[in-house]
Amino acid sequence: MNGERENRIDLLRGLSLLLIFIGHAEFTFSPTFQQSRGFSDASEIFVLLAGMSCALAYYRPYASLQLERPWKRALRLYLVHLILFVIMVTISAFVIATFDQTAWPAEMTDFWRDPLQHGLQALSLSYMPGNLDILPMYVVLLLIAPFAFLLHDRSKSALLGLSCLIWFVAGLGHINFPNAALEGEAWFFDPLSWQFIFMIGIYLGARMKCGQSVLPYNGPVFAAAAVFAVTAIPLNLAFHLGAVDSPFGELHHQLVSKINDGPLRIINVLAILYLAWNVRAVKATADHPAMWLVCAAGRHSLAVFSAGILLSFGAVVLMTLDPGMPIALQLLLLAIGCALQLAIGWMLEGRRTARVGAASYGLRRAI
């Protein structure tokens, strides 16, 4: 791979962050909006791209076991998660004390019934309110990434085959990590299931890192991906609205399960990525200056995602306090939330550019 940055990854990550915010904010239109993009949503594309980015950042072809950098990143994500948890618990305490209402009725009210026990559980990642088990999932994925790199170099088929087997067994047996904060007492994003889409991303990112073609164009495959991705949108929306019954019956829930990342979701996101990689307009859009802000948000995904979590929680609080909030005001909150996330990406990208410029200037002075 040459030194040129792949802006399509940044663009898709940036767009995914904004879409995730819309879903987490729980506006009255959020559920329908979430279901209007096919069987998968922004979470799948974000995890898939995270796997690609992980390989681009940490993979060294045929190197020995390299733990330091990915595990250091995992530790950073863990600490950010704890900070977000403390902030959200503090906000919920203020809301409950001030308005005698709960910010999140089940999880946050339950936390204050036994804050010491639940606080200790939070440290072990076994007490995570809704939307707060996303970063922990990445912690788990980053911890296993170095071992995935080793297996990748020995047999790519073994890596993908083992990953698929774990995904299948975890989904079929509902094998998951404990989470006392949620009704099902399990992680909403089961790492044992979601690791499959992450490993596919690692495989694609490693190919990119080695200068090999990624998702090369094939006419029949492109046509099949386009048909599936386009057809999935009205079908999934119709199933969601109850307009038609799924032909899969009781099996439909398992096929589109977000907890276990059901097969229809995986096929859908792979179809979307294949199209994005082979439609020239996507590459041109990603490289266009007009999309610089979105790409900048994608480059600084941790900070932007963290801000989005807090902003969406604030929106949930406001929606709880005012259940009849007009759509116009909800759209204003949506616009403000997206603008703030883009502003954070812009600020951090400006700092990064300044650091790179200063380092380059220092190097020239030294020469």
Place of tokens 């792979």: 270
CA 293, distance to chain mean position in Å, is: 19
Amino acid, single-letter form, for residue 84: L
Predicted confidence at residue 336, as pLDDT, reads: 96
Cβ(82)–Cβ(127) below 8 Å: no
176 confidence band (pLDDT: 50, 70, 90): very high
Amino acid, single-letter form, for residue 59: Y
Place of tokens 């948000």: 297
Query: DSSP per residue over 238-292, as a string?
Result: HHHHTSS--TTGGGHHHHT-TTTT-HHHHHHHHHHHHHHHH-HHHHHHHHSGGGH
Predicted confidence at residue 303, as pLDDT, reads: 96
Residue that wins the pLDDT comparison between 241 and 77: 77
Cα separation, 135 vs 74, whole angstroms: 9
Cα separation, 356 vs 361, whole angstroms: 9
Sorted by sequence, the CB contacts under 8 Å of residue 303 that are 6+ apart come out as: 344, 345, 348
Predicted confidence at residue 362, as pLDDT, reads: 59
Predicted confidence at residue 142, as pLDDT, reads: 97
2 confidence band (pLDDT: 50, 70, 90): low
Predicted confidence at residue 361, as pLDDT, reads: 52
Predicted confidence at residue 6, as pLDDT, reads: 85
Predicted confidence at residue 36, as pLDDT, reads: 85
- Mean pLDDT value across residues 239-246: 87
Encode pLDDT of 35-67 as tens digits: 888 999 999 999 999 999 999 999 999 999 999
Predicted confidence at residue 26, as pLDDT, reads: 87
* Whole-number average pLDDT of the chain: 90
SS3 321: helix
Cα separation, 185 vs 295, whole angstroms: 36
The region of weakest confidence among 10-14, 106-110, 261-265 is 106-110
How would you label 164-182 residue by residue, b for 16+ Cβ within 10 Å and e otherwise? eebbeebbeeeebbebbbb
Closest CA to 16 of 57, 51, 47: 47
How would you label 2-20 residue by residue, b for 16+ Cβ within 10 Å and e otherwise? eeeebbbbbbbbbbbbbbb
SS3 139: helix
The region of weakest confidence among 9-18, 156-165, 346-355 is 346-355
Cα separation, 139 vs 322, whole angstroms: 35
Confidence (pTM): 0.93
Predicted confidence at residue 355, as pLDDT, reads: 80
Predicted confidence at residue 358, as pLDDT, reads: 65
Encode pLDDT of 145-173 as tens digits: 999 999 999 999 999 999 999 999 999 99
Predicted confidence at residue 366, as pLDDT, reads: 54
Residue that wins the pLDDT comparison between 75 and 313: 75
Percent of the chain residues topping a pLDDT of 70: 93
Predicted confidence at residue 360, as pLDDT, reads: 58
Residue 121 has, within 13 A of its CA and on its CB side, a CA count of 20
90 pLDDT above the threshold of 90: no
359 confidence band (pLDDT: 50, 70, 90): low
Read off the tokens for 84: 């977000």
327 confidence band (pLDDT: 50, 70, 90): very high
Cβ(187)–Cβ(239) below 8 Å: no
